[in-house]
Structure 1
């Protein structure tokens, strides 16, 4: 901070006298700071010797400027600010310590000045103006903020690397996973879910502020921004935690989000990411929404062997995929409704808002096109796997 005032010359002899007592003053200052500022209350945060040394450097700076108008070297204050930021000291506590120390120095200076010849009321006014602009606390605060910002960036980079390591499976040792969970602020045991959201453009978040929003639902999370996706590991501990996470994700306008099933151990994160991606692919068209991966056996089977699942879908539904879009969609939706209804034509008709005879007609049409009878359990299984593959995997090319 640049000085806009100069100290009154008649105060120089007083400052020189106090400069000779700076060792004793710095110990008194450290004791007062320790008694009045909670952060400095024990050696656990800042050792007393270190606090005394810091107080002495700052006192020498102030009295040195007053005694012989030395340059305003703010490096002691800046060093203190940086050191406290790296230790995680609250900025308010740092500024409180400077206020306590400044009050002690001012009271000592004023007491000596009152008995010094040539010091008048105007001297104190000028001294007060200089004191306000001297800027030790401001310098310390600026250095604190700079160091805190750099530290935050470093920690964010570390978090980002650890999240990527979780998603790529580089972390497998239980001790390493436990340490990673600690750095990321995640519990060491699940359940967790993985979230994959399509970004609107490279470098832009699909879910801005998602970590803070999930914290309001008592769900901790760690995120990584990829060129095409924003991905995160989210805890779902509380009863109904997964539902709360899904509701929170659904409040982001325009977002397209896939969510994995819950899983119990962090080492399973790469598999969960694959399932979250598949759930995201299941969102057809451009509509926004949140899709949770269906963790039934058929879905998991398709997810485990996507290439084989795609081959089965193309083989079973070859003639269906050649139909016009509207007809193909109606037939596949009817088959899915029939599975959802447990094989009941009447219940499927209610789900699809059509007559049961319409459902029967469409199912017969599917049987003709696929060459598989819904009365044959093996054919029912083939169709279920093929249908799930169509829903989970990217659309296959038509013949």
Structure 2
């Protein structure tokens, strides 16, 4: 088991050891940069142009700081040059994260840099006639220093990614809320740019229980937007805005949702997804269309959605078309209403009506005779037949109204 590296803050080297190293500092920095460029592909382009000269200065500064650190007089020194070096290394880590370079690339650069810097510095020390114990001691200091710098850079890299991630999540949530608010297109485009979110052709609102949202969103397009609190009427449900779930892709999305409780709205141009959300919410509120344990695709229930678009108008229509049945016994009226509905749905085919209602065809004939007595010629009027069909086709059609 290898011994831990020494604390570079407490070690010192004599000026005689450091002097030849300081004279060759620029050469060591160039050798280090060349090696990193050759061995770490992520940095090949980074060292070209103006950025290359900045990095060269940074490497020289880091090596110079190291020499300053280990050549100070022995004893406590509150003005240690290590603190600024660690701050610079931390800033380097954050900058590398912003540039899109991975932590592996950064640590690879440190490993190569440490190896080459030590090789060149050791060669200079040997050339200056330094004894082996001094050179070995110097090696420990070099690697302890690089270890401190790399740890600071790792922290900076992680902090930048975390900060950037949190900021992007905030921007994505703001974008989702702007979409639900129906903001102007230019405002939505600006919000998408802030969130670094490439707009799709369409968005589809999908409502899923809050406890299942994380599992579901991991199955969908990575651009899917999520809101845990979508608003009134959808308590305990999360909203997912799924990109490009139109055409043949819709079946693929509903397939991914299999086994979940979900309501899937229609696909709409991405700036108009509020309409998809509104339809999904309204579908949840229709009796019989609860998504408990199943997927409710709003595209499969368009007729019901149309019929329930104006509940008060539908109630008024029902009251109007069923008025001829008012005043009779409730049970008889209920049987007449269900017979009339079936007769309309089956286009007057008596056998089919009897089969649906589990009654004898003669009973169907009797009831229809009674309905013709109550409605008269209105059962031949196309407008009345259309009104009756709409009123009785809607879910939860009531029995005849009370007088």
Same fold (TM over 0.5): yes
Asked whether 1:41 is paired with 2:41, we answer: no
Kept in 1, the 8 Å contact 2:264–2:296? The answer is yes
Which residue, out of 250, 264, 281, partners 2:258? 250
Residue 167 of structure 1 contacts residue 269 of structure 1 at CA under 8 Å; is this kept in 2? yes
* Unmatched runs of 5 consecutive residues or more in structure 1: none
Offset of residue 181 of structure 1: 11
In the TM superposition, what is the alpha-carbon distance from 1:97 to its structure 2 partner?
1.7
Counterpart contact for 1:193–1:260, Cα < 8 Å = yes
- 1:78-227 aligned within 5 A: 78-115=90-127, 116-120=129-133, 123-124=136-137, 127=140, 131=144, 134-173=147-186, 176=189, 179=192, 183-187=196-200, 189-190=201-202, 192-197=203-208, 199=209, 204-215=210-221, 220-226=223-229
After superposition, residues 223-372 of structure 1 pair within 5 angstroms as 223-226=226-229, 228=235, 229-236=237-244, 240-252=248-260, 255=261, 257-263=262-268, 265-282=269-286, 287-294=292-299, 298-299=303-304, 301-302=306-307, 305=310, 308-309=313-314, 312=317, 339=345, 355=358, 357=360
Asked whether the equivalents of residues 91 and 156 of structure 2 are also in contact (C-alpha less than 8 Å), the reply is yes
* Counterpart in the other structure of 2:35: 32
Judged with a 3 Å threshold, the aligned counterparts in structure 2 of structure 1 residues 4 and 121 are, in CA distance, closer, same or farther, namely closer
Greater radius of gyration (CA): 2
> Are 2:32 and 1:22 equivalent residues in the alignment?
no
Cα deviation, residue 146, structure 1: 0.9
Q: Secondary structure at 1:193's aligned position in 2?
A: strand
Aligned-partner Cα distance in 2 for 1:312–1:250 = 38
C-alpha distance in 2 between matches for 1:348 and 1:125: 99
Secondary structure at the aligned position of 2:185 is classed as coil
- Give the superposition deviation at 1:141: 1.0
The residue matched to 2:242 in structure 1 has which SS? strand
Deviation of 1:145 after TM superposition, in Å, equals 0.6
Match of 2:61 among 57, 60, 65: 57
* Structure 1 contact 194–233 (Cα < 8 Å) conserved: yes
Contact 1:177–1:266 (8 Å) recurs in 2: no
CA distance in 1, matches of 2:266, 2:303: 14
How far apart, in 2, do the equivalents of 1:153 and 1:9 lie? 43
Number of paired residues? 367
User: For 1:348 and 1:41, how far apart are their aligned partners in 2?
Assistant: 80
Structure 2 unaligned blocks of 5 or more:
75-79
| Secondary structure in structure 2 of the residue aligned to 1:274 | helix
Q: Summarize deviations over 1:357-377 as a string: whole Å, max 9, x none.
A: 59x86xx69x97xx8888765
Q: Distance in 2 between matches of 1:37 and 1:184?
A: 30
Quick one: structure 1 residues 381 and 182, their matched pair in 2 at CA, closer, same or farther if it must change by over 3 Å?
farther
Q: Contact 2:263 / 2:297 at 8 angstroms: preserved in 1?
A: yes
Shift of 1:385: 4.0
Judging changes above 3 Å, is the alpha-carbon distance between structure 1 residues 375 and 42 closer, same or farther for their aligned structure 2 residues? farther
- Matches of 2:102 and 2:50 in 1, distance apart? 13
CA contact (8 A) 1:11 1:119 kept: no
